[in-house]
Amino acid sequence: MASAPPIPHGLLDSSPAASVLVPLAEYYQRRTLPPSGVDSDPVFESPRSQVMIRTAVKGTTIGAHYHSVCDEYVLVIAGRGEIFVNGEWHEVKAGDLHVCPRGVVHDTRALDEHLRYLSVFTPHPPPGNDINWLK
């Protein structure tokens, strides 16, 4: 197999500085969940994006919020729950995608079972996070 051309110095600015392949079924089997709330694990970060593997534990409601810097893409991997979209709760299941532009209020809840999903933020959230909670 031929070797790949060298990557220009300074081009790699991600963590990890390599491609990422996550067998999600195995990942979720190994993960220990907290008794409540959301388990979040950033598996890739760069100045342009952040990818998190997440589980909303059964009975959890995250809370209404918006992001002032980032767009968020939520891909449901397993379980069932609800996502607050455009002022209404919608049931979600494996295979559903929620695209939420910055400034749009949203929320997620896991009712009767854990809700496993990916969150992709672009650009990367600023230091201290980009969650603006509503009261």
Beta bridge partners of 133: 65
pLDDT by residue, tens only, the chain of 135 residues: 677 777 777 778 899 988 999 999 999 999 999 999 999 999 999 999 999 999 999 999 999 999 999 999 999 999 999 999 999 999 999 999 999 999 999 999 999 999 999 999 999 999 988 999 998
* Residue for token pair 């230091």: 127
| The model's pTM | 0.90
Q: Which amino acid is it at 54? A: R
CA distance 51 to 37: 19
Task: Give me the pLDDT at residue 61, please.
Answer: 96
Structural domains for the chain: 33-133 (2.60.120.10)
Task: Give me the pLDDT at residue 135, please.
Answer: 81
CA distance 52 to 95: 17
Task: Give me the pLDDT at residue 24, please.
Answer: 96
Task: Please give the radius of gyration of the chain, using alpha carbons only, rounded to the nearest integer.
Answer: 16
